[in-house]
Amino acid sequence: MAERDDPEIIGRRVQQLRTERGLTQKQLAEPVYTPAYVSTLEAGRVRASEPALRHIAERLGVAYEELVTGRPAHLATDLRLRLTDAQRTLATGEAEVAAEQYDGLLAEAKAHGLVAEQAAALLGLGECALETGDLETARKRFEESEGRLGDAPLPNRVPALRGRAVSHYLAGELRYSCYLFESTIDELNRTGMHDPDALLLLYAGVIAPYMDMGAHARAAQAAELALALAPQVGEPALVARMHRSVARTMIAEGRMAEADASLAKAAELYRQLQIRTELANCHWMRGYLYVQNGELERAEGELREARAMLSAKRAALYTSQVAVELADVLHRLGKSEEAATLLHEVLGDLSPERGAVHSAGAHRLLGIIAEDARDTESAEEHYVRALSLLERAGAAGDLADLCRLLGDLFRRTGRVEAALDAYRTGLGHRTAPGTTTLGPAPAQPPL
């Protein structure tokens, strides 16, 4: 149901439209209402019922929604159609083009006071900024989107919350990212809102921060839950395109409710396309597990698959992160030259504010490769840069390992005191993965 303007505003609108059409109050009221009722309504002294307003709208020859909101008929549905088009553009990897579409739609939604559509446009702008690696803009847009939604049910706010959590993760704020993901999962499960799409977004998103925090068991569980929740759709893009075409036909025929239903299905399918890209994280996670089991060739295959899925979407930051882990596997397989080339290629896409943990991982691995080549000076330089990045991000498990590497290098080069300092620092970070940095694991949904 459309959100009404104040009775006084509606009254002025009724009077203006009646006058433009040359109707008397009696003609507008007949046969159900009285001229006195219309007079009172036009003066803004009564809050008319929906049946009364529908009767008046019909007599005036305007849509009910236009009468009570002042917005042209079909405007909201048309905006939702174009929001779905922008979502399709983003899902196919054209983030810059999609951002232009969303900007225009946001301005239009603001001009007409369409709050839900403003929230959707802001969410899209946040996703575009994530794709292009503009993390500060992404976070702001997600916060604005969540603010527009106000007291909407939690599943409606999950995409914006997930966006905020991913923004903080990519900025190196691992603990806060995990907190946002886990608290939202817990609230969904605690309140019985087991929304599969919302939970899929959250479980797929939390895998990467879990892995960087050293909470590998939680990451593995989240990956399996994400895969179990993933909708089984043969080709989402084709089905979504069909729903968009159907919606256009229904709009032309004035069947707004059915058009909105088709648009909702199309929007969900485009979100699934983005989720499929996020499911690259599951290949990423499997690659990690294969590494732990010593199955390096299988790990290489999974990580190459994850990287291909992400690079197909031109998601530069995510692609660079996977590349770091693929380089580690290549190094272990004896392909150190290929690994070093890959690392130097991606370091330009990583920084303390964009993928700090993986930037540290790249420097750590380049340090190891330099040590293998007996270039101690370069190795130390890479280790020190990695140490600085990890301390900022608070990645305890990785810090402990790096301090060991740095201590071993100092010891081999005769700097015993420096080696002892490095070992002591590492011992301070040597905690059981996930126990000091994360709270209890979130509840598992009924599948």
144 and 116 Cβ atoms separated by less than 8 Å? no
Q: How far apart are alpha carbons 191 and 193 in whole angstroms?
A: 6
Q: How far apart are alpha carbons 354 and 267 in whole angstroms?
A: 29
Share of the chain above pLDDT 70, in %: 81
Q: How far apart are alpha carbons 235 and 90 in whole angstroms?
A: 17
The string of pLDDT tens digits covering residues 61-88 is: 888 878 888 777 677 788 888 998 898 8
For 349-353, what is the mean pLDDT?
A: 72
Q: How far apart are alpha carbons 47 and 141 in whole angstroms?
A: 37
The stretches of 214-279 forming alpha helices (DSSP H) are 216-229, 236-252, 256-278
Lowest mean pLDDT among 12-16, 130-134, 224-228, 270-274: 270-274
- Residue 43: predicted pLDDT: 92
- Residue 429: predicted pLDDT: 61
The string of pLDDT tens digits covering residues 283-314 is: 777 787 688 778 899 889 989 988 887 776 55
3-state DSSP call for residue 235?
coil
DSSP per residue over 121-150, as a string? HHHHHHHHHHHHT-HHHHHHHHHHHHHHHT
User: In 3-state terms, the chain is what percent helix, strand and coil (to 5)?
Assistant: 75, 0, 25
Mean model confidence pLDDT for the chain: 82
Q: How many CB atoms neighbour CB 4 within 10 A? A: 16
Lowest mean pLDDT among 336-340, 402-406, 431-435: 431-435
The string of pLDDT tens digits covering residues 239-259 is: 565 566 666 556 556 666 776
In this predicted structure, the answer to whether residue 443 has a pLDDT above a threshold of 50 is: yes
Q: How far apart are alpha carbons 317 and 104 in whole angstroms?
A: 26
- Residue 365: predicted pLDDT: 92
Q: Which 8-state DSSP code applies to residue 375?
A: -
In this predicted structure, the answer to whether residue 336 has a pLDDT above a threshold of 90 is: yes
- Residue 181: predicted pLDDT: 94
Cis peptide before 445 (omega within 30 of 0): no
Chain length of the chain: 447
| Cα 366–Cα 371–Cα 373 angle in degrees, nearest 5 | 95
For 370-397, what is the mean pLDDT?
A: 86
For 277-283, what is the mean pLDDT?
A: 66
Q: Which 8-state DSSP code applies to residue 348?
A: G
In this predicted structure, the answer to whether residue 437 has a pLDDT above a threshold of 50 is: no
Q: How far apart are alpha carbons 137 and 354 in whole angstroms?
A: 13
- Residue 377: predicted pLDDT: 93
For 260-274, what is the mean pLDDT?
A: 70
CA atoms in the 13 A half-sphere facing the CB of 94: 11
Q: How far apart are alpha carbons 349 and 404 in whole angstroms?
A: 27
Enter the tokens of residue 180: 């946002």
The stretches of 374-415 forming alpha helices (DSSP H) are 376-393, 396-412
Lowest mean pLDDT among 13-22, 175-184, 201-210, 377-386: 201-210
Confidence class of residue 435 from pLDDT cuts 50, 70 and 90?
very low
- Residue 148: predicted pLDDT: 93
- Residue 240: predicted pLDDT: 63
Q: How far apart are alpha carbons 126 and 138 in whole angstroms?
A: 4
Lowest mean pLDDT among 203-217, 239-253, 266-280, 358-372: 239-253
pTM: 0.63
Residues ≥6 apart with Cβ < 8 Å to 248: 81, 259
For 375-385, what is the mean pLDDT?
A: 92
